[in-house]
Structure 1
């Protein structure tokens, strides 16, 4: 909704500037026409033309003032919306450490994170993580998280393997981020849950080795349904990221260029 409002305000500013130029150009053409007529007659005979010319000039000035005021008002409202968005983004990261901030920035990039969104949807990892938050004392949600993490990594490797012949660079970047970046994050970000940490948490809650083994053996995913869910998840996530990125680009443009040029 915020993006739509900003685009609407920008459109109003552009429309106002265009309207002013077109209308003033038309009125200036009328003044030029009157000037030609006044060249061939004296001031007494051309008195009514002089008055008409003055009235047209007043209309031009009024048009410039009115449209300038409209643009200033739209620019002020736009600036308020941008400030609200900037404050909101700061609030979202105020409690994050540096590693988490970098991770959040990367996770919000469209296109670059398409494969990760697909894999997350296929593995259903976000849903499982929510279950862990709701039932942290339940052994089986932790075992489910452990197996989901394992499946997530397997799906990630398979999907990158499929796309590798067509996108060697993209696959190389994805795999490097997964293994090198993931290893760094595991050591620095102690809040990130890995397979080992999920298993250890289940053991702390009383899970036996037999329960862990049996759960792993019974853990199955319907690949067709998972693929459909993964694709739907990716499309939804990428759409939101494109919207968010577009809004950030607009905010940057407003800060650096738009307001300066249209407050005049």
Structure 2
């Protein structure tokens, strides 16, 4: 919504400027007509035309001043919205350590994270995490999380393997970020959703090794349904990231290109 509001305000500035130019050009053409007529008249004969010309010039000046004031007000609103957006992002990141901040920045990038979003959707990782949060005392919710994390990792590597011939560098970076970045993050974030933590929690709740092994053997996914859901999830997440990234670029442009004379 914030991005749409900013775009609307930019559109208002553009429309206001265009309307001003059109109206002023029309008034200027009338002034030019008067000037041509005055060339063949003395001051007495052309007195009424001189007054008309002065009135037209005053109209141009007043119209320009009025439009500029409106545009300056919109610019101030835009600048404030950019400040609010940046403060909100800063507030969201204030409790994150350096590793988490870097990972969050990467996770919010569109295109670069499509494999991650597709794998997440196919494995239904977010849905399983929600189940664990709602039922933290349920052994099977943790066992399902463990298997989902295994499936997610496998799917992520397969997707990158498929696109590797077309994007070798991107795939290498994706896999490296997932494997090495995850290991680094684990050292700082003891509550991260990891396979080890999921199995550890299940054991703490009383799960036996046989239960864990049986659950793993019987865990199945309907791949046709998973692929459809995964693609939908990826499109949804990527579109949100496009909007977020677009707003950040727009914020930068507004900050650099709009001159705030009040500052």
**Structure 2-normalised TM-score?**
0.95
Aligned pairs for 1:250-261 (under 5 A) are 250-260=250-260
Following superposition, the deviation at residue 77 of structure 1 comes to 2.1
Residue 173 of structure 1: how far off its partner (Å)? 1.4
Partners of 2:207 and 2:37 lie apart in 1 by 99
CA distance in structure 1 between the aligned counterparts of 2:7 and 2:44, rounded to whole angstroms = 53
2:25 equivalent in structure 1: 25
CA contact (8 A) 1:99 1:189 kept: no
CA distance in 2, matches of 1:16, 1:169: 46
Paired with 2:24 and 2:254, the residues of 1 have a C-alpha distance of 26
| Aligned-partner Cα distance in 1 for 2:218–2:190 | 29
Q: How do 1:28-67 and structure 2 match up within 5 A?
A: 28-67=28-67
Shift of 1:32: 2.1
Residues 160, 171 of structure 2: 8 Å contact kept:
yes
Match of 2:93 in 1: 93
Deviations 1:50-105 (A, max 9, x none): 01100100110111011111101211222232222222212211222221111111
In structure 1, distance between residues paired with 2:245 and 2:179: 26
Supply the distance in 2 between the matched residues of 1:10 and 1:259 (Cα, whole angstroms): 13
Q: Distance in 2 between matches of 1:191 and 1:176?
A: 22
Q: Which moved more, 1:183-192 or 1:45-54?
A: 183-192
Cα offset, 1:180, TM superposition: 2.1
Query: How does the TM-score come out when normalised to structure 1?
Result: 0.94
Root-mean-square deviation (CA), in Å?
1.5
Question: CA separation in 2, counterparts of 1:28 and 1:191?
Answer: 69
- Runs of 4+ in structure 1 off by over 4 angstroms are none
Pairs aligned (count): 262
Partner of 1:68: 68
Alpha-carbon distance in 2 for matches of 1:174, 1:245:
19
Range with bigger deviation, 233-242 or 90-99: 90-99
Partner of 2:178: 178
- Secondary structure of 1:101's counterpart equals helix
**Cα shift at 1:257:** 1.1
For the residues of structure 2 that align with 1:3 and 1:183, how far apart are their CA atoms? 35
CA distance in 1 between counterparts of 2:100 and 2:173 reads 19
Query: Structure 1 regions of 5+ residues with no counterpart?
Result: none
